[in-house]
Amino acid sequence: MDYSRLLLYLTDYLIVFPAALMCVLPVLDHSRFSRKPTVAIVSAVTIVISFPMALIRYTVGCDANIPLFAFMAIFFIAYLLMFSVRKTKLWFLFVSATAVFSFGGLATHFVEAMSDASNDEWISLAVKWGISLTFLIIEIIFMKKLVWLFDNENIDAVWRFVWAVPAIIIAANLFMIPENYDYVRIGKVFQEYVMVEVMLTLFFGVFLVMLYTIARAITNKAEAEQNAHILGLQAAQYENLKKYMDSTARLRHDFLYMARTAQTLAANGETEQLQKLLSDYGAGIDANAAPQKFCEHTALNAITAYHALEAKEANIRFTAKLNVSQNISISDYELCSVVGNILDNAVTAAKESNAENAEILFVADTKGNGDLYIAVTNPYSGAVRQKGKGYASTKSSGHGIGLESVKAIVEKNRGYCNFRYDGMTFYSEIMLRQG
């Protein structure tokens, strides 16, 4: 057995290890296991699988890519199962890692073509490893930005198409594999190859920067609009509270005169006038009831009060049981995006249900471990339009509006959400992890 040749093949296949890390690291927080076991599992599997791939290649003498493609297919299926992230995002990461891998693979052909040394295979393999490790180091340097991108860019249409860019790079690198190494030594072919590879690398880098920049701009705009909405609700609450304080001051001022008048009417036996006076005064008190306070969290209280008033105006009972403090780690933007979308759907569906004694129940509770649980139940018309595994985005059904945004925020916070319904009631259940 030629152990040197076997070692060469093994070292060649071990390069799947940095490629696998490139797939895993940006979405590590979304693993179905904890971080360290995930890295350990991926590392162990990719390293261990390299041995049989090298042995198959050595004993059978098959094309080097056949065992590799089989492993990549198995890895991708396991990859989808291990991470609770949208499959389109995982597919983009997988294709991007393959594109990076293709740079090193193409480099080996050109190094071998330009080298006359007897150990040119080891030289080309070293170049291949150098290119792959360089890309991995670059990814680690920009890891925070990549993690943010995969957590916050949640427009499905974007992820359905962006994978085409690394796919084009893979196709270009495959196309550039020389059929005859002699051609590489002609004129400036090698220099042109280097220039094309540099341009492709810069193109891929610029593309990622643009993707990140656009995602940042979209998210900042959405957060600004949501914060403006929250501030508007809080301002409205403040105005209602101010009106209540002014009206109660007036009622206290008028109480002395009302009491004297009531005393006189009672002394004169004028019962009907006394009842009318008390009824009018009671109605004035009821009309100036204090604004409701649902919880200590200012932004959540404001958006809950807004939808409670909306429900009241539609003659829908609205019950809220909230145990959420001000100091939770979930941002106001994310919390109010989730609650706002769910309650907006609930009120809309309750209006369309035409149910007698329609009621919306909203419960939010912070558990001892810091996790926030949210549950909303509401009546609906009985017709729910589903699109794939989600709900159709249409007001006529009362559900689906913004649920994709809710799922994205839940995914980012490593929580879960469940939307279900029976013949009369729609249930929304959400858990958001803190920290």
pLDDT at residue 146, rounded to an integer = 93
- Residue 165 confidence (pLDDT) above 80: yes
- Among 125-139, 216-230, 285-299, 365-379, the minimum mean pLDDT is found in 285-299
Residues 171 and 309 in one domain: no
Is residue 204 in some structural domain?
no
* Residue 222 banded pLDDT, cuts 50, 70, 90: confident
- Among 219-228, 281-290, 309-318, the minimum mean pLDDT is found in 281-290
Tell me the helices (H) and strands (E) count for the chain, helix number first. Answer: 15, 7
- Residue 392 confidence (pLDDT) above 70: no
For residue 134, give the 3-state DSSP assignment. helix
Residues 20 and 165 in one domain: yes
Is residue 77 in some structural domain?
yes
Is residue 424 in some structural domain?
yes
Domain boundaries, position 96: 3-186
Residues 181 and 307 in one domain: no
Is residue 11 in some structural domain?
yes
Residues 8 and 152 in one domain: yes
As a whole number of angstroms, the distance between CA 294 and CA 235 comes to: 16
Residues 170 and 309 in one domain: no
* Residue 401 banded pLDDT, cuts 50, 70, 90: very low
Q: Which of 186, 202, 225 is the C-terminal boundary of a domain?
A: 186
- Among 107-116, 134-143, 150-159, 317-326, the minimum mean pLDDT is found in 107-116
Residues 301 and 182 in one domain: no
* Residue 352 banded pLDDT, cuts 50, 70, 90: confident
Is residue 270 in some structural domain?
no
Is residue 272 in some structural domain?
no
Would you say 314 and 350 are in contact if contact means Cβ atoms under 8 Å apart?
yes
Average pLDDT over residues 278-303: 69
Nearest to 99 by CA among 21, 19, 179, 10: 19
pTM above 0.75, yes or no: no
Would you say 376 and 342 are in contact if contact means Cβ atoms under 8 Å apart?
yes
As a whole number of angstroms, the distance between CA 193 and CA 198 comes to: 9
pLDDT at residue 191, rounded to an integer = 87
Is residue 373 in some structural domain?
yes
Q: Which of 132, 167, 186 is the C-terminal boundary of a domain?
A: 186
As a whole number of angstroms, the distance between CA 171 and CA 158 comes to: 21
- Residue scoring higher pLDDT (265 or 107): 107
Pairing of strands 359-366, 317-323: parallel
* Residue 14 banded pLDDT, cuts 50, 70, 90: very high
Average pLDDT over residues 342-361: 88
First to last CA, the chain: 54
How many structural domains compose the chain? 2
251-255, 361-365, 387-391, 414-418: which is most confident = 361-365
Mean pLDDT of the chain: 82
Per-residue pLDDT reduced to its tens digit, 369-385: 778 999 999 998 876 55
- CATH code of the domain covering residue 361: 3.30.565.10
CB neighbour burial string for 336-371, b if at least 16 within 10 angstroms, e if fewer: bbbbbbbbbbbbbbbbbbebeebebbbebebeeeeb
20-34, 184-198, 385-399: which is most confident = 20-34
How would DSSP label each residue in 343-365? HHHHHHHHHHHT-TT-EEEEEEE
Is residue 194 in some structural domain?
no
